[in-house]
Structure 1
Amino acid sequence: MDGSGSPPAQPVRGEMAERIRAHDWASTPLGAAETWTSSLRATVSLLLGCGFPMIALWGRDLIQIYNDGFRDLMGLKHLAGLGQPTRECWPEILHITGPIYERVWEGETFTFEDALYPLTRSGRLEDAWFTLTYSPLRDETSAITGILVTLVETTARVLADRALRESEARFRAELERQVQERTAELQASRDLLKATMDSSMDMIQVFKAVRDASGEIVDFQWLLNNHTSESRYGEVCGQSLLERNPGVVQEGIFDTFKRVTETGQPATAERRYVHEQFDGWFFQCAVKLGDGVATTTKEISAWKAAQDEVLRLRDAMAQTALRESEDRFRTLASLIPVLLWRSDVSEEHNAFNEAWLTYTGQTLQQSQIHGWLDALHPDDREAAYEAFGAGRAARRLIEVQQRIRRHDGQYRWFLVREAPIIDAEGQVTQWIGAAMDIHDLHDLQERQSVLVAELQHRTRNLLGVVRSIAHQTMVQTGPTERFREQFSDRLAALSRVQGLLSRSDQEPITLRTLIQTELDALGGGEFADRIHLGGPPVRLRKASVQTLALAVHELATNARKYGALTTDHGRLSVTWRADGSARDGGRLLVEWIEEGISRPRDPQNPMRRGYGRELIEQAMPYALNAKTRYELGETRLLCAIELPLGERSGEMSTA
């Protein structure tokens, strides 16, 4: 918009263009339209000219400005929504969007496909699905000033797809749909790994080995590439490493990848690379991943240039007056964004740049003699003292990785080097050192290893359980409609378990949560007055959750279909207690008691004679070292499960 509050010389037509021109912006945090910045005006022109639904959330108040396409998605919220803070307009989804907005303000971009949002745009809460992107908006100085949301509503397609899947009668199609849903959960884990990779400013790549007929590695192929790497390479997934970057052979990178893949031993290297897209210094770490490698590469050209300059000054300082060299060192130290220091041969007098003093919070006096060791992590001090002592005695370059304490008490990893300054007579006159922050690289490698291990573990476990469920159900029912129903129910129970496992790092899984989740899924809320749960807090570890959850699912299903919850006078009681502790070999006793049941039973009842009972009486003792007891009377059912506490057997502990 121009100074009069009107759009640019060639205004975009449409209802929202007119409403934006006529809106009283002076009453909003954005201020009168004639005071808007050029970046805000450009953003408004962009979204008004776009055929896709778009909304700009400007400023920290996230003031809404949207186009005609987005207007059609707002429903009854449209008239009040223009110029309104988005948190006031959409409070029902703030628990979803709030964390996303915070990360976008940090510079991240997010894209979601068929994301579920519960909205009240028609006066009542309803589910809606969207494919959308959240990205930061920046002003002329590249500072983030808002958030741009571009989206397409996919509710109709999602519901149509759901209806189509539900109407599919053939068993094979149904089974494929169920497996695809489980595969999507594995894909979500892969996407989480990809998102973690993309959040790094370093280059992260994953390669798969290409082998000849004899099994010899002859090439590598790109599997994954994060955003930072794509900015240099472009889109290379599926391409040959040797065809795209033949220089890796003479640089020794190809041989390194082969060695890591074949031995499993990680490798780190610092090298100058002058081939294809690169011309600079890089610090690279490669670890084995499947039949290939995952690499993290950090460009250190600036750091190496600073190091080279420091070494150049070493010679200059030996040839000039002490005061002149002192001034030159201080000037350089104040310009280079790394921790620098200089010390004499006695190690009693040290000079540190401002970056060191600011980072550690030490005064110059506190850093003298060996006072700088106080800034190192206690576990690293002895090794650092020995490394520096040995290096100085041998008059050689010193290189170590160690943790240095920040002024707020946090420790971060640094790559530290110290080199001697030798005069014309071959005597060491001083030592100059530098430390580069590589903490993010350390953290990223650790998170990458954890995510890869978790993904591989869950994949193996999940596929094994799915195969077991399909086999056991088929043995009891054959390829019938009953098989489809029971298999779907058991797969749904497994899906709920995966949901609990996916949140276990933030929300530990307890025995009560597991039981309540299964009862709720089967409509347990309808019988709340006839169900009793009681027992102390017991945390379950991941290895025991799937087997225990399937057992609870079978018990709950049969209580709902054949047991205590099928009669008006039936009662269900689930209690548990811990005898002893994990440390002294204690055990956990769970008792499932149904009273008021009515016999005779259906001879085809799978819980009484089929998969569920086999799971409890055979699988649980084998998998969890459990003791089980199953007693079915005329009006009462008792199922007792005794599990050991502790990590070596029961995989659970009292909270």
Structure 2
Amino acid sequence: MSLGLIEARNDEDEFEFLGNGGALGRLIRDCDWASTPLGPARDWPGCLKTATALLLQSPVPIVMLWGEQGVMIYNDAYSIFAGGRHPDLLGSNVREGWPEVADFNDNVMKVGLAGGKLAYRDQELTLHRKGVPEQVWMDLDYSPVLDESGKPAGVIAIVVETTERVLADRRNAAEHERLQQLFEQAPSFMAMLHGPEHRFELVNPEYRKLIGERDVLGKTVGEALPEIAGQGFVELLDTVFETGQAVSRFSERVLLQRSGEAVEERYLDFVYQPIKSDDGKVTNIFVQGSDVTLRVRAENHQRLLVNELNHRVKNTLASVQSIVMQTLRGSHSMEEASGAISARILALSAAHNILTNENWDGADLSVIVASSTDAFDGPARDRFRIKGPHVRLGPRAALSMALALHELATNAVKYGALSNETGFVTIEWSVNNTGDDGAFMLTWREIGGPSAPVSDRKGFGSRLILRVLPMELGGTAQIDYGPEGFFFTLDTTLRAIEESVSGG
């Protein structure tokens, strides 16, 4: 056998311990170990060869740091972790191979060569695997490698990168926190119920507000909200849990006891949404909805207003019809009738405007008096002397009073104190709160006008103030023609004029 064949055979035998070491096995064969502190592979101690052979067979990223300098030998899995640092790391000292974490590795070598062990979970480090700083997280386990005499000669490091999982966990945690904030800040009420007993796991502030800030966590719906028993909600939850089908309700009436107060009627829009496990079984029910009590009450009030408006329109049309018919019956000419009809309808319209501004809840008597007499006052605004306490008229009384005052003023202009330049009218009213219904009296007194003889003519104005007005207000009316002029008195009760709901 020639000398060349013997030398080749010896070179191959130098790395025979590697066996099938994969890509890193081939690189180890090609590495110039003589230029490293380890020296040629033929001179390696048996413990180093055995440890190298073992790490090459592992699918887990492993790097061995040998000797005081921590010369690096690693496997295929670790080469992937090393990124752009591979293959230059092979055979280099760990401090030089990873200079950005030199202090960390100095401690590892110190502990490992002293026979100690280290373990880190999700250890954060900044590495330059791609030429730029990169934050990574790793599970790291370090243990000593013993030589033939039982003394630590190197350190084995199992390196499992957890960066992807850590970042995913952080994203999930951030998303969970964001959802928790949305849950807490949501304008609608929300709750999470667990199990077939519907036990409260989560409630947001709006739900706590809905139920009067009661402590319900850990309690079943029946325990936490006993007042809803018999209202059908627990049975509805049972159905959702058994069938796995969501249920929605709108403007649903519920009686709730809020903060120890009496049971209160509320209206809710809500959905019961089943939450299922991977095997398709319902585990939780998510409750979400809104308190729409104000909206429902507004809708109900609007319906009442529409019905009331319809009623009032009918009454107004009847009033207009009566004004037209009575005026035509008592007029001598179409011109007279046209003027009287227009004036009376305008008076009715002015009263309507006042009531509309008050949402048809009534009107102040002083406002009705001022509106009804304004068109008849002189340039000096001194033809009416008005005096009386605050009195609130109901809508029906306001309309009747406005028409009566208009007729009284019209007659005063035609025949009474307002027919000259010196006369005036006093309008006064008083109240007496004694008795169940109280008492109310209004007087119209004309002063300084021509004498007003008693008239046998009973036109629309006379019928309105003597018959219609007392009948509408449940009282009595009287007219006197004294030496000073015309005098009108209305007597009724406070209850009658304050009544806010019209009759049929």
Tell me the CA shift for residue 475 of structure 1. Answer: 0.8
Contact 1:402 1:416 in 2 (8 A): no
AA aligned opposite 1:488: S
Q: Please say if 1:340 is aligned against 2:190.
A: yes
Aligned equivalent of 1:585: 437
For residues 331 and 617 of structure 1, the distance between their equivalents in structure 2, rounded to whole angstroms, comes to: 75
Q: What is residue 337 of structure 2 aligned with on the other side?
A: 483
In 1, the alpha carbon distance for the partners of 2:335 and 2:224 equals 69
Q: 2:365·2:398 contact (CA, 8 Å) conserved in 1?
A: no
- Are 2:194 and 2:284, in contact at CA under 8 Å, matched by a contact in 1? yes
Q: What is the alpha-carbon distance in structure 2 between the residues aligned to residue 387 and residue 577 of structure 1?
A: 56
Partner of 2:365: 511
CA gap 1:369/1:587 in 2 versus in 1, 3 angstroms: farther
Q: Deviations over 1:465-494 (max 9, x none)?
A: 111111111111145211111111111111
Determine if the alignment matches structure 1 residue 617 to structure 2 residue 466: yes
The 2-side partners of 1:385 and 1:370 are apart by: 18
Aligned-partner Cα distance in 1 for 2:220–2:486: 72
Given candidates 413, 418, 428, the residue that maps to 1:565 is: 418
Shift of 1:341: 2.2
Compute the displacement of 1:439 (Å): 5.4
Name the CA distance, whole Å, in 2 between partners of 1:515 and 1:571: 15
Q: Is the 8 A contact 2:192 2:284 kept in 1?
A: yes
1:420 to partner: Cα distance = 6.0
Q: Distance in 1 between matches of 2:317 and 2:255?
A: 41
Larger Rg: 2
Post-superposition CA distance 1:90-122 (Å, at most 9, x none): xxxxxxxxxxxxxxxxxxxxxxxxxxxxxxxxx
Q: Does 1:533 pair with 2:386?
A: yes
Look up the match of 1:351. Answer: 201
Q: What CA distance in whole angstroms lies between the structure 2 residues aligned with 1:508 and 1:453?
A: 17
Q: Distance in 2 between matches of 1:636 and 1:486?
A: 23
Q: 1:334 to 1:370 in 2, by over 3 A?
A: same
- Tell me the equivalent position of 1:208: none
Determine which of 498, 502, 512 is the counterpart of 2:352: 498
1:382 aligns with one of 207, 220, 227: 227
Task: Find the aligned partners of 1:373 and 1:526 in 2 and give their Cα distance.
Answer: 75
Letter in 1 for 2:499: E
**Distance (Å, rounded) in 1 between the aligned partners of 2:233 and 2:423:** 77
CA distance in 2, matches of 1:413, 1:403: 9
Q: Deviations over 1:541-584 (max 9, x none)?
A: 11222222111111112222321223455342211111235x70
Aligned position for 1:416: 270
Structure 2 residue aligned with 1:543, among 378, 390, 396? 396
Structure 1 position 358, deviation (Å): 9.6
Contact 1:591 1:641 in 2 (8 A): yes
Q: How many angstroms does 1:601 deviate by? A: 5.7
Asked if the contact 1:597/1:634 (under 8 Å) is kept, the reply is no
Structure-2 separation of matches of 1:414 and 1:428: 24
Q: Distance in 1 between matches of 2:361 and 2:299?
A: 24
Q: CA deviation at 1:618?
A: 1.4
Mapped to 2, the partners of 1:359 and 1:382 lie a distance apart of 16
Distance in 2 (alpha carbons) for counterparts of 1:332 and 1:453: 46
Q: Distance in 2 between matches of 1:393 and 1:620?
A: 63
**Residues in 1 aligned to 2:372 and 2:312: alpha-carbon distance in whole angstroms:** 21
1:544/1:650 contact within 8 Å kept: yes
Change (3 A) 1:506 1:375: farther
C-alpha distance in 2 between matches for 1:358 and 1:546: 48
Q: State the match for 1:632 in structure 2.
A: 481
- Which one-letter code corresponds to 2:479 in the other structure? Y
Contact 2:423 2:446 in 1 (8 A): yes
Per-residue deviation, residues 325-362 of structure 1 (Å, max 9, x unmatched):
99999887777865432223486953336675797799
Cα distance in 2 for residues equivalent to 1:357 and 1:544 = 46
Q: Are the aligned partners of 2:442 and 2:489 in contact in 1 as well (CA < 8 Å)?
A: yes
Residue 611 of structure 1 and its aligned partner are, at CA, apart by 1.3
Retained in 2: the 8 A contact 1:598–1:634?
A: no
Letter in 2 for 1:383: I
Give me the whole-angstrom Cα distance separating, in 2, the residues matched to 1:572 and 1:375: 70
| Structure 1 residues 445 and 370: CA distance shift in structure 2, 3 A | farther
For 1:595, give the aligned amino acid: I
> RMSD in angstroms over aligned alpha carbons?
4.7
1:595 equivalent in alignment to 2:450: no
Structure 2 counterpart of 1:591, which letter? T
**Deviation for aligned residue 1:496:** 0.9
Structure 2's unaligned 5+ residue stretches are: 1-171, 259-264
Where does the alignment leave 5 or more consecutive residues of structure 1 unmatched?
A: 1-324
Amino acid at match of 1:590: L
Higher mean C-alpha deviation, range 509-518 or range 392-401: 392-401
Contact 1:421 1:430 in 2 (8 A): yes
Structure 1 counterpart SS, 2:429: strand
TM score, norm. by length of structure 2:
0.51
Query: 3-state SS of the aligned residue for 1:526?
Result: coil
**Given that residues 198 and 220 in structure 2 are in contact (C-alpha distance below 8 angstroms), is that contact kept between their aligned partners in structure 1?**
no
Question: TM-score scaled by structure 1?
Answer: 0.40
Q: Which residue of 1 aligns with 2:427?
A: 574
The SS at the match of 1:452 is: helix
Pair 1:522 & 2:367 matched:
no
Deviation per CA, 1:614-637: give whole Å up to 9, x if none. Answer: 111111233221201111134322
Q: Does 1:552 align with 2:405?
A: yes
Distance in 2 (CA, whole Å) between partners of 1:383 and 1:404 is 7
- Contact kept, 8 Å, 1:562 with 1:601, in 2: the verdict is no
Q: Are the structure 2 counterparts of residues 401 and 351 from structure 1 closer, same or farther at C-alpha, using a change threshold of 3 Å? A: farther
User: Counterpart in 2 of 1:459?
Assistant: 313
Do the aligned partners of 1:334 and 1:355 also contact (CA within 8 Å) in 2?
no
Structure with the larger RCO, 1 or 2 (CA within 8 Å, 6+ apart): 2
Amino acid at match of 1:476: G
AA paired with 1:597?
A: G
Aligned partner letter, 2:436: D
Q: Tell me: CA distance 1:562–1:385, structure 2 relative to 1, closer, same or farther (3 Å).
A: same
